[in-house]
Structure 1
Amino acid sequence: MHIAEGFLPAGHAAAWTVAAAPFVVHGARAVVKEVRENPDSTLLLGAAGAFTFVLSAIKLPSVTGSSSHPTGTGPGAVLFRPPVMALLGTVVLLFQALLLAHGGLTTLGANAFAFAVVGPWAGYGAYRLARGAGAGLLPAVFAAVALADLATYVTTSVQLALAFPDAESGVAGALLKFLGVFALTQIPLAIGEGLLGVLLFRALTTNARPELERLGILAPAPTPTGGSA
């Protein structure tokens, strides 16, 4: 998800920037609306952004010789819906490019599309499908967080394959190679991130239940009724 500065051809970098821009603009409006209508959610929004920044900044060596990162976008997508994460995720990538040399400015659009757009939408889709199928909150959160992580790296693999097709097998052959380098080795990390998401939401259900009820994550607790004497 952190394609390095200058790594993509200029045309590809520009195209991915154009593709990501509408989602980021929509996300900015969604954040402004959320803060304006629910000022109390500001703290949780900040926590979602900080969680994404810290988790996605962790750099782990990969058995393929590359490196892997958790993404951290799944919890925010479940809490505030994917449009909000389009902005938060892009801001996270911008600061990581400037402060940590993870990714870059020319590749910000491509990284944002994979990390802040596709990942959150895939995770949120998994969450909604799981809940609609009758799954409890925590299994649905696990599916959301794990798939948001994995979908990000699958998208990055597609972006790289389009930019650097194999000389003999073209884009399809390059995609298989990039998936083997990035997405396949990401599976255990996605599972671990899913479990971390479950722990996070267990803590939230204990310490921030009113906020989860307001966001529609949990049903309101039944009001106790007093019996007659």
Structure 2
Amino acid sequence: MKKRYSKLMAAIIFVSIMQSNGFAMHIAEGFLPPLYAGIYGLISIPFVLYGVKVIREKSEKIPNIKMFIALAGAYCFMLSALKLPSVTGSSSHPTGVGFGAILLGPFAMSVIGLLVLVFQALFLAHGGFTTLGANTFSMGIVGPFVAYGVYRALSKFNRKWAIFGAAALGNLSTYVVTSIQLGVAFPSASGGVLESVAKFGTVFALTQIPLALAEGIMTVIMFNVVEKHSSEELHSFMEVESYES
């Protein structure tokens, strides 16, 4: 199993690096005023610290979980590094947080999301360290919690649709929060914060809605692949109790 997933993760990371040219839709380095950047960082800290505790406890109880943590990180890294042209002249991308949130829970995914953002800031020039707190809050906290909640709510009806909805809405919620973050930091001169949030949200929606749907499909496929090759291990530690439904 480890050999199979090592090859898969290597391929995922390679594709991510090959997509490194351009500007990603993480909030860029130095773009937010220091006060806002600091506030989002402080809000994110408790989630990440508790996430570290959750990962430690899971790792002690379930040795094989480390490989799945790495797989969730590689999947998130790949999808959030892929960029598509946007009408804004920049680009948009999936987030990849739904897979890990369903698999490991939202707190564990907050740690993975933070690590992904750090690596992307260091090696791909995506986002930055001054905006790390804001990007972690939107992509590493809100996205996973929304994805987890959607999966819990829908899995009792249809598991594949639950995975699809969780991944898609986890993606969209990330960009709703990003729109709010940018709108609050840069209110419109005429319409204030609400108008600014609406403008950012409209721009993001043009590319993010199709990307969210695509991410939902890819995440369903990803779960099918993992279940096919590691069904026993997967069912042994799935965070969501209703996985079988």
TM over 0.5: yes
2:200 to 169, 175, 178: 178
Q: Is the 8 A contact 1:141 1:194 kept in 2?
A: yes
Alignment partner, residue 224 of structure 1: none
Secondary structure of the residue aligned to 2:29 is coil
1:136-147 equivalence runs, <5 A: 137-147=159-169
Between Structure 1 and Structure 2, how many residues are aligned?
Answer: 218
Q: Is the 8 A contact 1:3 1:111 kept in 2?
A: yes
Runs (4+) off by over 2 Å: 63-66, 215-220
1:64-83 equivalence runs, <5 A: 64-83=88-107
1:61-210 equivalence runs, <5 A: 61-132=85-156, 134-135=157-158, 137-210=159-232
Alignment partner, residue 79 of structure 2: 55
The alpha-carbon deviation at position 55 of structure 1 amounts to: 1.2
Instruction: Read off the aligned partner of 1:107 and give its amino acid letter.
Output: T
The alpha-carbon deviation at position 187 of structure 1 amounts to: 0.2
The alpha-carbon deviation at position 202 of structure 1 amounts to: 1.3
Alignment partner, residue 4 of structure 2: none
Q: Is the 8 A contact 1:61 1:67 kept in 2?
A: yes
Secondary structure of the residue aligned to 1:168 is coil
The alpha-carbon deviation at position 178 of structure 1 amounts to: 0.3
Instruction: Read off the aligned partner of 1:165 and give its amino acid letter.
Output: P
Of all paired residues, the percent bearing the same amino acid is 48
State whether structure 2 residue 50 is matched by structure 1 residue 16.
no
User: 1:21-68 CA distances to partner (integer Å, 9 max, x unpaired)?
Assistant: 111111111111111111111111111111111111112111232310
Alignment partner, residue 2 of structure 1: 26
CA distance in structure 2 between the partners assigned to 1:155 and 1:119 by the alignment: 9
Give ranges in structure 1 of 5+ residues lacking alignment. Answer: 221-229
Secondary structure of the residue aligned to 1:208 is helix
User: 1:153-185 CA distances to partner (integer Å, 9 max, x unpaired)?
Assistant: 111000000100001110000011000111342
CA distance in structure 1 between the partners assigned to 2:244 and 2:129 by the alignment: 42
Q: Is the 8 A contact 1:66 1:181 kept in 2?
A: no
User: 1:73-105 CA distances to partner (integer Å, 9 max, x unpaired)?
Assistant: 101000001000000000000110011110000
CA distance in structure 1 between the partners assigned to 2:171 and 2:144 by the alignment: 9
Secondary structure of the residue aligned to 1:103 is coil
CA distance in structure 2 between the partners assigned to 1:79 and 1:110 by the alignment: 24
Q: Is the 8 A contact 2:62 2:237 kept in 1?
A: no
Q: Which moved more, 1:41-50 or 1:181-190?
A: 181-190
Give ranges in structure 2 of 5+ residues lacking alignment. Answer: 1-24
Q: Is the 8 A contact 1:157 1:183 kept in 2?
A: no
